[in-house]
Amino acid sequence: MNDPIVGIDLGTTNSLVAVAGWPEGASASERAPRVLIDASGRAMVPSVVRFDAAVGGQPALVVVGDRAKDEAALHPRTTIASVKRLMGRSVADSAADLPYLSYAVVEGPNNTARVAIPLARGVGVGVGVGVGVGDGNGDGGVRVVSPQEVSAHILKTLKDRASAALGVPVIKAVVTVPAYFDDAQRQATRDAGRLAGLEVVRIVAEPTAAALAYGLGVIGRHNEHEAKVPRIVAVYDFGGGTFDVSILRLTPGGTVAGVGADAFEVLSTSGDTHLGGDDLDFALVAMMLGELGLSGDEVSPTIKRTLLMAAERVKVELSERAEARVDVAIDGRSERYGRLITRAEFELLIAPFVERTLQSCRRALRDAQRAMADDDGNAAPISAVVMVGGSTRIPLVRAKVAEMFGVEPYTAIDPDQAVAIGAAVQASVLAGTSSQAMLLDVIPLSLGIETVGGAVAKLIMRNSPVPARAKEMFSTGTDDQTGIKLAVYQGEREMAADCRLLGRFEIKGIPPMPAGIPKLQVEFFIDASGVLSVSAVELRSGKRATLQVVPNHGLSPAEVDSIERESFANARDDMQRHRIVDLVANSKLDVQWIDKQLVKNGGLLEVDVRQRIERASSELKVIISNAAADWRNVDADTFAKAKEELDRSSMRLHEVSIAASLRES
């Protein structure tokens, strides 16, 4: 019997573990996808971790889940919630959250966001995930831990639950992440799994997992004919800390390249890794603090935690009722804070956040329509909208989504459980216990290499299916280079300065050669989990270099918005600049070679031919100089024609130079 592979939804607010196709040989009903529960019948594990102080010199107790959440107001500084929003991010990326967090966030290595936990003298908080000991400076010592370490405790709790429920040790899992998580955030998720003793065999985007959970037999099917027709489905995933939307083509088995499995093909994806139910809670807390005449920087961690818990309760109640009451005691004040909050008031407060989700939906639809347009430019209609994530229970959210897509949202599966169930379906495919689904995911943003002049040569475009592989040939820009530096960028703009640097590496030890002669083959590979690896080889010398690109932080919402917005607003100028930069690089090589050959073999040319070459070279040098000063000084078409004139006029020089070289040899 194969080892089970479970599916895990590592959520911002709650996490779950599910399994499908297990145990092998059991009945179909027993092997159906299901969320695993604890001894008390609870499915969800609140994504909350508390580090208790040591007792009698023993390591500190780590409390995970319901108890940590319920007692958070009693231990505000050592209770860590919503840590997913810090994964792979910097302190600056998380600045908007800090006034509402009861725990301290500090800067760690490489400017990464870390959590500072106050500990008693000599306290250790290991539990097998390397959190270590206090700083030894007596009471009030601080231990800094990474978001990965905190997440590892949540994953370990889910792993232990699965092992107990299945009766065998669980060591492999498919873990879901927001579709817009970048390489750093995906790698951070892998690291958290490893710290928890789990092998993360695949990372799957949350909206895609949700589509797998619903399956082809459910979404948008009304009769036997429709069951055989591909469907276009939107998955709207509004969770506790992140928002994603994906547009998928769901195709019945046997109709795609002869594959028998149902195909789940992602056509486009968009989202915001810093937009979720937490932001709605923060908006309520900001309103309460404003009415108290306070700010987040002025109140104690206990008050922050108390107000956050009250805000979450109000949000949940207003999804079911027209009004909810908040009534909390505020430290240092004799009177309590209490008021009635209506659904209309709440909807007005959260409307800007809901609109941000709709902007992402429009972006994903625009990209998907390009992917599925027919010869007349018409795209297939959206047949169903799947709602995922706890925030989709809010009536305003459902109403706005229905209005935008023109389809009543589909909510047959618990929105909190759909992602975990979908992860379990994918896990069963990888474990070999199911072959009913084939998953075709995409990357969210384009990837490329910086070229001479600061342009970006894109090797893999956004919304390309994964796994993906692309190769491109490059060369040197100056004579006798013995090393070639490569910079990998992510983004939609044409120039490196406008994109996000992912990493740098260098090939060394290349034999000195004239510019343009080395042949550098660069290869990008994105695995099924969306993690990028880059390799390069100089074909003449055989020198190689590789890099697994893991940037320090994830993309902030502002960066994601500006990357796509600016790519459209500046598309014409960017393309012109990229073209001119390439013309400068290639023309410099041409002029350099021609000048050298004129000195060496110019005497073998007819006078009129030599004069034509010199005139064309001189004109091109002026254009190159003007472009180097400012690319806007030149017209790209004029530049290209000048280069073509030099190419045509120098053909005779090429002939005599080759003949002379043959005579010399």
Task: Name the 3-class secondary structure at 322.
Answer: coil
What does the buried/exposed string (b/e) look like for 352-370 if buried means 16 or more CB atoms within 10 Å of the residue's CB? ebbeebbebbebbbebbbe
* pTM for this predicted structure: 0.70
**49 φ/ψ angles, rounded to the nearest 5 degrees:** -130, 135
Domains and CATH numbers, the chain: 5-85+104-195 (3.30.420.40), 206-274+355-416 (3.30.420.40), 277-350 (3.90.640.10), 447-569 (2.60.34.10), 571-664 (1.20.1270.10)
- Band (pLDDT 50/70/90 cuts) for residue 170 is very high
* Whole-number Cα distances in Å, 119 to 67, 70, 149, 397: 20, 21, 16, 42
Amino acid present at 561: D
pLDDT at 133 over 60: no
Strand 199-205 and strand 172-177: the pairing is: parallel
Q: pLDDT (tens digit, 9 = 90+) per residue, 412-431?
A: 778 899 999 999 988 888 88
Whether omega before 23 lies within 30 degrees of 0, making that bond cis, reads: yes
SS (H, E, C) 215-258: CCCCCCCCCCCHHHCCEEEEEEEECCCCEEEEEEEEECCCCECC
What is the mean pLDDT of the segment spanning 78-99?
88
Please state the separation of Cα 361 from the chain's center in Å. 16
- Band (pLDDT 50/70/90 cuts) for residue 227 is low
What is the mean pLDDT of the segment spanning 301-311?
91
* Spatial distance between the Cα atoms of 525 and 518, rounded to a whole number of angstroms: 23
Structure tokens at 66: 């319901």
Lowest-pLDDT choice from 132-146, 454-468, 607-621: 132-146
Q: What does the pLDDT read at residue 440?
A: 65
Which single residue is written with the structure tokens 């589509």? Answer: 211
Which residue numbers are catalytic?
A: 9, 84, 206, 237
Lowest-pLDDT choice from 28-37, 190-199, 412-421, 495-504: 495-504
SS (H, E, C) 81-116: ECHHHHCCCECCCCCCCHHHCCCEEEECHHHEEEEE
Structure tokens at 186: 């995906």
Q: What is the mean pLDDT of the chain?
A: 82
Burial of 467 (C-beta count, 10 Å sphere; 0-12/13-18/19+): middle
Closest CA to 211 of 423, 43, 358: 423
Q: What does the pLDDT read at residue 157?
A: 95
pLDDT at 400 over 90: yes
* Spatial distance between the Cα atoms of 407 and 431, rounded to a whole number of angstroms: 36
What is the mean pLDDT of the segment spanning 113-122?
76
Q: pLDDT (tens digit, 9 = 90+) per residue, 513-544?
A: 888 888 888 888 887 767 777 888 888 888 77
Lowest-pLDDT choice from 176-185, 256-265, 300-309, 601-610: 256-265
Q: pLDDT (tens digit, 9 = 90+) per residue, 654-663?
A: 888 888 888 8
Q: What does the pLDDT read at residue 639?
A: 92
The per-residue DSSP string of 289-316 comes to: HHHHT--TTTS-HHHHHHHHHHHHHHHH
Strands ordered across the beta sheet of 437-442: 384-388, 231-238, 243-251, 262-272, 437-442, 465-466
Q: pLDDT (tens digit, 9 = 90+) per residue, 31-72?
A: 788 999 988 889 999 999 998 764 444 445 788 999 999 999
